[in-house]
Structure 1
Amino acid sequence: MLGIQNAPFLITTGNPMSTIDIGLVGVGKIACDQHLPAIDSSPDFRLVATADPHSRLDGVDGYDSLAAMLNGVPGLQAVAICTPTHLRYSQARIALEHGKGVLLEKPPGATLSEVEDLISQADRQGCPLFAAWHSRFAPGVAAAREWLAEKAIHRVEIEWKEDVRVWHPGQAWIWEPGGMGVFDPGINALSIVTRILPRAFFLREASLQVPSNCQTPIAAELSFSDAQDTPIHAAFDFRQTGPQTWDIHVDTDDGRLSLTHGGSRLVIGRQVVLEAEEREYAGLYARFAELVRAGTSDVDVAPLRHVADAFLYGHREIVDAFVE
């Protein structure tokens, strides 16, 4: 069953507030930019090892593979998997088989079938599994969700546009099957919208612009609606230069809610309700610590399902080749 699973945790951690020993699998850009600073500043975790055949961290035991790390540090309680998407399933399964709690960088898998199997494996092993939708921990998301809970929603506009050359330099995997192309950032927007809107919504049509030398889209236009036919439109683009755009606007019977700057700024009507420094990964690791200590899992596949629907249902248009 896809969704949130609750299961007993096999590992005994002693004091429920004691530090959790964690290993990092994959020491690439996202790990160095986000995971390492979050772990370093977390009162809940201690980084004791990494697994990456190409990279090491000073002062931390490094291994060429996850299997070698698990054998070398059997006391690990949890792992964070930050490999490219197509490798996450195999790595997560190994960690679960060894009884470890697992954090999956987004998206949690290359396919829904992979994630479904991981949910079942975590349930059988009694291990926490966390699909880490980091954008849901942006400062304004919780307040937006609360404000919208009882509102009549008339329209939703999502604009998520950024420069792939800035955010994914030299990362050719993003243009290969499973790399998701513009849906790599676009799924962040979908993770927020699926969190803040009070009703489920469904894809009605999609247009995917795919460079002639790539397998994944560089831009996409998506139209959704819910059971009440509320129009929800999303525009994703990897070709944005200059200022980057990560905005969501929701028109309601009580005015417009705008969640901008990736969720760090919340405006209702003309009033700035909240504007705060982005600390998504700090919140992400605080949530993972809760799950490890409680022995529960949190795996929401709704954002990934919407992306899968877009690939299944979208019209493809071939555009100019992408040259970095």
Structure 2
Amino acid sequence: MVHKIALVGIGKIAVDQHIPAITNNPDFELSATVSRHASIDGVESYTSLDDMLEKRPDIGIVSLAIPPQPRFDYAVKALRAGRHVMLEKPPGQSLAECYALEKMAQEKGVSLFATWHSRFADSIPAAKDWLKSRTIKRFRITWKEDVRRWHPGQEWIWEPGGLGVFDPGINALSIMTEILPYDVHINAAKLEFPSNRDTPIAAHLAFTNPDNAVMDAVFDWRQEGPQTWDIDIETDQGEMKMSSGGAKLSIDGKSIVEGSDHEYANLYAQMHTLVQNRASDVDLSPMIHVCDAYALGKRITIAEFEF
């Protein structure tokens, strides 16, 4: 069975990732788009989600590739209309919103998928398996990128609910919570806020863990030149490095995975499985870490940052 899907939001992430993943998957048909400013050639387009839901009852899945601030209202409309819903990361601008959507999906008997695309990188299964039988001594996340390159003109990321540097940083947290053999929690954080912004541009997090390992994460949105998305792990039985956001994996200096960009293809394959089984996948552990960072973090005000 081919599932008809509507894509809401036709921005950079939709064009770069969602549309190719949908069109290359034989289990889906991109049947409609919803956007106030953009459309896709050959695909029926709407400027209103309400209009699409009313006129296209045959479309069973709605994928939301819009900023987190308005996402809750869109998801509620789709769920109330009995449609399966796929949420771009982060799944919402607050935990309460996410829990409410999860409950609504259960009541409606439809699938809800809170996606974490970095968890579907090629190296994740091997990294997770390797760590299961080892004691971690040192765990360091280094996630540094240029916000001007990856979010050109996207002012929403600096507004409340936009998460700031945690928008990319939550990708690293989604990997960490997937590959670690146990739960961890933040016990200290420092957040750097430009004086003219409502969300942080940099963060340093420290974690408590059962191995008593030194475990921390550094996020920074001011990186120029080469971009850095690395996780370095030292254990009692060797060292592991994940790079390129999880696409590459090396152990003791030997390359194990030299992955391609299959994350969104894997996401949509998972969405197909969930819909087939009327199941949901709503793991909020990466979001919990972000909320804890805001709750525990020492706020440091720095110079203005012009975007």
Q: 1:108 aligns with which of 70, 83, 91?
A: 91
What residue is the counterpart of 1:309 in the other structure? 292
Code of the residue aligned with 2:233 in structure 1: it is V
- Give the superposition deviation at 1:231: 2.3
Q: 1:194 aligns with which of 160, 177, 199?
A: 177
Give the gaps of 5 or more residues in structure 1. Answer: 1-17
Deviations 1:264-285 (A, max 9, x none): 1111112111112121100111
Aligned counterparts of 1:95 and 1:21: Cα–Cα separation in 2: 14
> Are 1:48 and 2:17 matched, yes or no?
no
What residue is the counterpart of 1:14 in the other structure? none
Q: 2:204 aligns with which of 206, 209, 221?
A: 221
Aligned residue runs from structure 1 range 163-242, under 5 A: 163-242=146-225
Aligned counterparts of 1:126 and 1:225: Cα–Cα separation in 2: 37
Task: For residue 121 of structure 1, give the secondary structure of its aligned residue in structure 2.
Answer: helix
Query: What TM-score do you get using the length of structure 2 for normalisation?
Result: 0.98
Give the gaps of 5 or more residues in structure 2. Answer: none
- Give the superposition deviation at 1:247: 0.3
Aligned counterparts of 1:57 and 1:135: Cα–Cα separation in 2: 26
Aligned counterparts of 1:52 and 1:264: Cα–Cα separation in 2: 31
What residue is the counterpart of 1:149 in the other structure? 132
What residue is the counterpart of 2:242 in the other structure? 259
- Give the superposition deviation at 1:142: 1.1
- Give the superposition deviation at 1:228: 3.6
Aligned counterparts of 2:26 and 2:134: Cα–Cα separation in 1: 37
> Are 1:94 and 2:97 matched, yes or no?
no
Aligned counterparts of 2:26 and 2:130: Cα–Cα separation in 1: 31
What residue is the counterpart of 1:12 in the other structure? none
Higher relative contact order (CA 8 A, sep 6+): 1
Aligned counterparts of 2:306 and 2:278: Cα–Cα separation in 1: 46
Q: 1:299 aligns with which of 282, 291, 302?
A: 282
In the alignment of these two chains, the number of paired residues is: 307
Could you list the structure 1 runs, at least 4 aligned residues long, displaced by more than 6 angstroms after superposition: none
Aligned counterparts of 1:94 and 1:297: Cα–Cα separation in 2: 17
Q: 2:13 aligns with which of 16, 23, 30?
A: 30
